[in-house]
Chain A
């Protein structure tokens, strides 16, 4: 089947039930998208599908033909993505960094939807887990990206 990832359409030879995460990591070689739990709880595998944050570890590739998939590698291709990444850097958000690909894309998805999110918007959208506990700097960086 064909997957359109970061603006490029490529053929991938996988079973239809294969989670998008593994097609991205193993077939396309894009390892910025992380495996954390495999059950859609932690959010480390977050990608954008048509601009919306989606947990790729529980999203089968079947049915994604024609969808516009964005991974962290292309996060900075949009103005909002650039602002989010710059806010992440200036706020020194990442510690171990393993969850941050997903965190960045969750923030991009939020700002795609809501230009100036309220606290409650942030609570609703930023649900990815971070074992280093960077939640406070994530929140500050989301606000900064919204205001940039």
Chain B
């Protein structure tokens, strides 16, 4: 098993699929190499999705997933959490197709922790752009199984052969006698029957709902304030807690100088010293917050942080540390003879690329409501991308078995990787001991400032490139990527087995005869995490930019060079054709636009999460400010479920890509982030959003991801366009840190 311990990657095979019980992970342990890492191992074995015949063979546990109601509606337990990506609607769309029930009649709820919901080969999480592609074969079989039960029930009712029956949406029909029975009328009898071993699936050509732009079911609730999030949950007798975190991990509270004073503040119930934080429990959040902020805390070294933040840590120092780390590192990919190719080359070029720390910046600050019950169980309402992992960790903290912890996963007010299980970034670790201490339900709510202090960050990344070119293009490419990926941090993947540290530098499709990619591991003092598109969020920027540098050195047009390097690879060539056509035809040089601006275009490709993407950006510079006017994206996820959702996800991914290109970057000084809110850490504003044009190609390849793949091409398409426009090669982000005057 050499693949990724996190289901983000495209090199999976069904043969690797391993059944294993869902197993909560203790992220404080390095489990990658241990035999106990069953959940990790199965995560590497994300099945190749897409073809129905690739579905698992065991009969789906219909009753655990699907409840059919007498009124003809259905409730579906989704293994995946909804956070705006439309996954609940997609699950209903897929199940409804095979069940022959209008997806609009489904209510989809997040499945509780445990049970048969580990459909990723025994485990599950919501991430890696994996939910639809993993869920697709399973949910089709689930729908087909339920339909089969309903047909059997009708056959019994009418004492006819099931083969004489067919279904129409919501009904079983016996054409010979003209009889019909609604699913609602059959539901109770059907659920007592046995799912047959063979489950024929629909011919894709007869799909009624899949591939249609069905509306997402939750948009009205979200347009009228009726959608509830974790921060909105309330239970009887609940108290609210606010925290003040230690300025750095590795510090913990020794005492509070003005404790008596804040204990006397209005509404305050009690004041608590926690691991790396103090908490104030009060009747109201505003009271708790005011008291927590007023607390004058004496911090001392200590606490449970596995990675204490050095008090002299700074971004600038970290940059120098990475630059100074010696290569060549652990070999990730190699072909040809790089050394000889460089020795023989006429033209050689070198560059160092870097990308900053980034915050998730989801608009909902994290919160958790914890309630201990009289029967010894614990209820947790929280935002979460991995319910079983949370249940396991919370059980450990509470001293309970995971079965006695109920995880109520709430609709996520944005996630982008924020709500995986991390060591210090999930407030349930505070809510559980507080609820225990005060003997009442406690909801911990982090302020934006406390969130920015404890959010896990997209790693600061750096890569060193050497290229050799001749008149035809690149002849050799050597890359050393320096740093640590989140999968190394949280799942213990060693260098060489951590694609999150190099994806986007690895897995590129270009035919370059002599090449080498090495990973130079350097452990990051900051708490790094998964950020939308993970390693691709920076590595494709590095690679596709340097590819343009090589094109320039070879005197080649960047688009033409890509075509040359992809000769014979029809899937990629089709994407380049599509994106060029979508943009109205490629322009390799700056041009004067009708609105008076001088604009230029850049192109980039990426192969993230099983999908393939080509992106073109068009930019201008006005009084020193970079303006991104247009982004065109051609995306080939192999096959799709809902085109409208695909377009929405690409729009969203592009927005995050433009955001990090233009304005985002977290800096540290003296061990602390210098930004604690959106005033000092800007994110993309509405007037900075480009027009986005999306074309979906369905090559028929195994189904790829959709939520993240639109992002990685954005940054290099923009910086490549800027290079054409200004002659300047940008090798670090954000652009707001560069002077274009």
Q: Interface of A with B (CB < 8 Å)?
A: 14-15, 18-19, 22, 25-27, 30-39, 41-42, 44, 71-73, 75-76, 85, 88-89, 92-101, 104, 123, 126-139
Contact = CB atoms under 8 A, between A and B. Distances in A.
B609 interface: no
Contact of B219 (A25, A35, A37, A94): A94
Nearest to A40: B679
A84 to B, nearest CB: 8
B711 to A, nearest CB: 10
B448 A26 contact: no
A35 B362 CA distance: 12
Contacts of B224: 32, 72-73, 75-76, 85, 104
A40 B448 CA distance: 12
Contacts of B509: none
Contacts of A132: 84, 414, 652, 655
Nearest to A75: B224
Contacts of A76: 224
B362 A100 contact: no
Contact of B225 (A26, A72, A96, A129): A72
B36 to A, nearest CB: 35
Contact of B222 (A42, A100, A139): A100
Contact of A92 (B83, B365, B648): B648
Contacts of B220: 85, 89
Contact of B659 (A27, A71, A133): A133
Contacts of B689: 133, 135-136
Contacts, number: 173
A95 B84 contact: yes
B365 A36 contact: yes
B223 A96 contact: no
Contacts of A133: 651-656, 658-659, 684, 689
A94 B691 CA distance: 18
Interface of B: 83-86, 215-216, 218-229, 231-232, 240, 266, 284-286, 361-365, 411-416, 445, 447-449, 644, 648, 651-656, 658-659, 677-679, 683-687, 689, 691-692
Contacts of A72: 224-225
A100 to B, nearest CB: 5
A71 B284 contact: no
A75 B222 CA distance: 12
B364 A98 contact: yes
Given A96-B412, A127-B685, A38 B447 contact: yes
B642 to A, nearest CB: 11
A98 B414 contact: yes
Nearest to A123: B687
A131 B361 CA distance: 7
B208 to A, nearest CB: 20
B284 A129 contact: no
Contacts of B679: 37, 39, 41
B519 to A, nearest CB: 30
A95 B218 CA distance: 9
B655 A39 contact: no
6 A-B pairs closest in CB distance: A133-B655, A32-B225, A97-B222, A96-B84, A95-B84, A98-B413
Nearest to B82: A96
A31 B219 CA distance: 17
Contacts of B449: 38
A41 B219 contact: no
A83 B658 CA distance: 31
Given A34-B364, A72-B225, A136-B651, A97 B677 contact: no
A123 to B, nearest CB: 5
A97 B232 contact: no
Contact of A41 (B225, B445, B677): B677
A25 B445 CA distance: 13
Contact of A135 (B266, B414, B677, B686): B686
